[in-house]
Amino acid sequence: MAVWTLGLNHRTAPIDLRERFAFASEKLAQSLQGLQQKFATHKEVTILSTCNRTEIYCAGDETHLPQTLAWLAETGQTQVDVLASHTYRLEGDASARHAFRVASGLDSMVLGESQILGQLKDAVKLATDTGTLGTTLNQLFQRSFAVAKEVRTMTEIGAHSISMAAASVRLATGIFENIKDTRILFVGAGEMIELCVAHFAAKSPRSITIANRSPQRAEALASLHGASCIALADLPKKLHEFDIVISCTASTLPLIGLGAVQSALRARKNRPMFMVDLAVPRDIEPEVKKLNDVYLYTVDDLNDIIQSGQAHRQAAVTDAEVIIDQGVHKFMSWLEHRRHVPLILELNVQADAWRQAELHKARKLIEKGDDLDAVLESLSMGLMKKMLNGPLRELHHAEDAHLETTRDAIRHMFLKA
């Protein structure tokens, strides 16, 4: 089996291109099946889709990257050559190394962050439940999880990490002298928003409000921090009440439009608003960034702040790469041995046929009343002759140029202790 990876991330593609290829969670299973069914060559498929990356992992009899690229371009309604210029295409050991580096947090915007490992595990579970994960990709990802655990245990890759949430707080303190005087709105209630709420709550703002599609989840998060909740439908008329807005949902369309923000600014008499859009596709219309008195940041805008802590972790990267190299070597060795499986199966079938044939003869002799020792002798002799027939035939008919090689092979397989 061959393995290959097609992807685009925060390094290779801008956010306006990445959001075209962000798969909605409710449609991921359908997309997995669609790709697998469209090409008979894609026997196994897994898709990882986050705010910073979209990656397709495949396994099949041969590598078929052009078909994978064409399918993804069609999915995102983008020309193949345009998409190709923003993607990375990997196969074999390079594909395995990439998966291990992603799981270990070495390929993340926040070097060493652990959230990606959970997202990768979720992607693998979905592929398993959908029926598109087979033996090869399962081995690849299970080994990547083990390598990620070893990297975090044996290195300091996660030390000095500046998260998206921490970066958002740092930016906000540059706009508002005292966070304690601000009212904050969080749109969404997923893992990223949970982290952001915890970071901002530690600054004791005047109020925290949460808006989410699921009221139950919003209320559960609000109860942890003494916050209140509002309905998503109430966002346009209540937006002016908030100084800080942090949004991260799985919506495929913007939840906060230009008109709503303009109305909020008028109601606030142009008092500044700080907004962070951590979603891909974006929750806040990009045009909002052009408004005076609005400070809007996307995940890509946070990159400079996040990079400030990278130097402290570079020494750990070298140690992590050694662990990853070992993991890649072991996986490729396993993959190489998988090539022998069809031959091993054929040998087992042939050996079992010999066994069944000799057993059949032995049972007939016993039914005739032959001596049991004589029957066992006949059975063992029959098996021995069948087992040695092939090597002896090769030895007798081998050409002179191959005779020594044949002898060495027979010695190695039959005479080596």
Query: Among residues 51, 58, 229, 248, which one is catalytic?
Result: 51
Active site residue 51: yes
Q: Which residues pair with 244 in a beta bridge?
A: 184, 274
Q: Which residues contact 71 (CB under 8 A, 6 or more apart)?
A: 35, 38, 39
* 184 touches 243 (CB < 8 A): yes
What would you report as the CA-atom Rg of the chain, rounded to the nearest whole angstrom?
30
Rounded Cα distance between 52 and 299, Å, is 8
| β-pair type (53-60, 44-49) | antiparallel
Burial of 360 (C-beta count, 10 Å sphere; 0-12/13-18/19+):
exposed
Task: Tell me the CB-side half-sphere exposure of residue 302, using CA atoms within 13 A.
Answer: 28
The Cβ of residue 68 has, within 10 Å, a number of other Cβ atoms equal to: 24
Q: Which helix (H) or strand (E) holds 386?
A: helix 372-397
How far apart (Å, rounded) are the C-alpha atoms in residues 192 and 28?
Answer: 20
Q: 1 with 86: CB under 8 angstroms?
A: no
Torsion region of 335: left, alpha or beta (phi above 0 gives left; psi -120 to 50 gives alpha): alpha
Could you give the dihedral angle defined by the CA atoms of residues 320, 11, 290 and 197, in that order, rounded to the nearest 10 degrees? Answer: -30
Q: According to DSSP H, which parts of 253-340 are helical? A: 258-267, 303-307, 314-338
Q: Which stretches within 104-134 are classed as H helix?
A: 115-130
Side by side, which strands form the sheet with 294-298? Answer: 228-230, 207-211, 183-187, 244-247, 273-277, 294-298
Kindly state the tokens that stand for 207.
């109020």
Assess contact for 17 and 280: CB atoms under 8 A: no
Q: Which residues are catalytic?
A: 51
